Amino acid sequence: MKMLWTCALVAALCAAAPGGSRLRARTDGSRFLNDNTKKFVVDGKSLPDISFDLGESYAGQLPISNKTDEKSKLYFWFFPTANEEHKEDKEVVIWLNGGPGCSSLLGFLQENGPAMWSAGRATPVQNPWSWHQLTNVVWVEQPVSVGFSEGEVTARDENEVAEQFLGFWRNLVDAFGLHDHKVFVAAESYGGFYGPYIASHMLDAADRRFFDLSGLIVYDGVMFDQKVQFDVPAARFAEQHYELMPLGDTARDQVQEVARRCGYDDFIDKHLVFPPAGPAPALAPGSRQEANGSIVAEPGCRVNEQMGLVISRASRQNPCFDVYRIQHQCPVASNVLPVDRPAEKQEPYFNREDVKKAINAPLGVNWTACVSSSVFATPDGQDGSQGHPSSDHELPNVIDKTQNVIIAQGNMDYIIPLNGILLGIQNMTWGGKLGFESAPTDPFFVPNFGVNLSQAELESGFSQAVPVGWGVQGTTHTERGLTLVVSASSGHMGPADSPAGAFRHLEKLLGRAKSLSDKEPFTLPQLRDVRQPEEPLGKGTVTIPCAKRGC
């Protein structure tokens, strides 16, 4: 139900914010504008360097608990949906980037937000695939100390990170009246820890008024044993993609010798099968247990050692080798949100004072895409949950209780290789069974949105500013409430590399698409009548399993 506001309240809002008359016209009547949220209003027409209207949104900080002396706060940017058909729907999506320690504003500006400012673009463009076109979305910078989030780092592990997030979320729900809303969590990369842990804690809280967790999607996530995810598939990945990673015979032989000596090849041959061969050994390949019970790596088989070897050899061939998307070549594109390659002297967009003022961010914070200090209060700065990946309990818990979990993976991602994800799935128990019983072969279909129109129509078409493809874009599979979807040409940042594909993922997560192989059009009103192909789709375009050349 829309709320009615008194003249006094509107006048106060207009007086408190620059461009008050514009803000009144844009937010008056919104069900999210109230005495508690008026301080968070963002003028979508006044964002520096953005030439278009972002629409209604709210940004700022909220504390991680209800303690009166709480000093730790998380920063958020909340966009009510622009979809008129779903304005009153009681649902909200939470977006989390990974790191650990990387800002979710990376996702906002370069993946699935209303403005797309990808690396190499001189200026931002309006993103037709923004997730807020489907539903309400909030991008949250967390844990404490990341981005514009401030306070003392006290969380020692993922359980404590999740508890702090739930405290923040309760405050956000109270402020914006999001009670009894279905909550969907979307996370990326190290978000394979964050997302499942937070989602599982929401379920365990058994309080649907605040935490009605209804689904989870993880993009290229760290969810399984890290040696199995990173090092075991490293050499075979280079073999599969030898045209993009031409190591040369000497380096190739060196990498393959490590894979043989550490037992990685044997592990893949035995466990990358459908149905699973059985539970994998508790001891990861290339490890041994000492007499005192401690587990140590065999020489040359430490975590990340094999992956690092491949990266060093690939970088000799391609100095701009990108572990996040192996197709990338030199030169490195300039980036307003530099992460791993800060050679450009340009100040990060979100660290500009005019931007901070526009989005209610603390002026005294030096914003960086990823913080250099640890986000965990442990002696070594490491996540205390490192030995407890989310696949041990949290991820299966969310699958079993929601029957609505998507693992989305980019086939061109080297930092999180596909076969590491598959090995993890085949050693995870959910729904009373181990792994997938059948190998994924179904086509992942991205609906046509009008790109087969005439050139004149195409130039003014739906996705002109953010060109993307459609059709069979990968492979998908669903069993017992878990969907795997692999995008053939995507790397680590799925919504950035395949915006339309990620849009379809979200439609599936929200229950608006029957399956990821369905040929029904996109659900947006302007795309609902676009004609789809009548011929059979065939199989998916990513072969699973595959751990060699030519498969």
Identify each DSSP E strand in 121-178 by its residue range: 125-126, 136-141
Query: Which stretches within 272-329 are classed as H helix?
Result: 305-317
Give me the catalytic one of 149, 189, 214, 490. Answer: 189
For residue 445, give both structure tokens. Answer: 């279909």
Query: Is 413 an annotated catalytic residue?
Result: yes
Query: Is 189 an annotated catalytic residue?
Result: yes
Contact 191, 218 (CB under 8 A): yes
Would you tell me how many other CB atoms lie within 10 Å of the CB of residue 500? Answer: 24
Give me the catalytic one of 157, 225, 265, 413. Answer: 413
Q: How far apart are CA 309 and CA 256, in angstroms?
A: 11
The C-alpha angle with vertex 342 and arms to 337 and 343, in degrees rounded to 5, equals: 125
Give me the catalytic one of 241, 271, 477, 492. Answer: 492
For residue 380, give both structure tokens. Answer: 């070594």
Q: What are all long-range contacts of 506-511, with beta carbons under 8 Å and residues at least 24 apart?
A: 506/93, 506/131, 506/134, 506/135, 506/186, 506/217, 507/134, 508/406, 508/483, 509/184, 509/186, 509/215, 509/217, 509/404, 509/406, 510/91, 510/134, 510/135, 510/184, 510/215, 511/404
Q: CA dihedral defined by 490, 495, 496, 500, rounded to 10 degrees?
A: 80
Instruction: Tally the residues of the chain.
Output: 551
Which residues does 260 contact at the CB level (< 8 Å), separation at least 6? none
For residue 527, give both structure tokens. Answer: 């795309």
- Quote the crossing angle between the two packed helices 191-205 and 158-176, to the nearest 10°: 60
Q: Which residues of 171-196 are buried (b: 16+ CB within 10 A; e: fewer)?
A: bbbebbebeebbbbbbbbbbbbbbbb
Query: Is 86 an annotated catalytic residue?
Result: no
Q: How far apart are CA 160 and CA 345, in angstroms?
A: 37
Which residue, 437, 533, 425, is CA-closest to 486? Answer: 425
Would you tell me how many other CB atoms lie within 10 Å of the CB of residue 296? Answer: 11
- DSSP character string of 61-90: EEESSS-TT---EEEEEEE----GGGTT--
Q: How far apart are CA 45 and CA 48, in angstroms?
A: 9
Q: How far apart are CA 246 and CA 259, in angstroms?
A: 17
Q: How far apart are CA 94 and CA 451, in angstroms?
A: 31
- The residues with which 78 forms a beta bridge, in sequence order, are 58, 138
How many Cα atoms sit within 13 Å of 96 on the Cβ side? 31
Kindly list the catalytic residues. 189, 413, 492
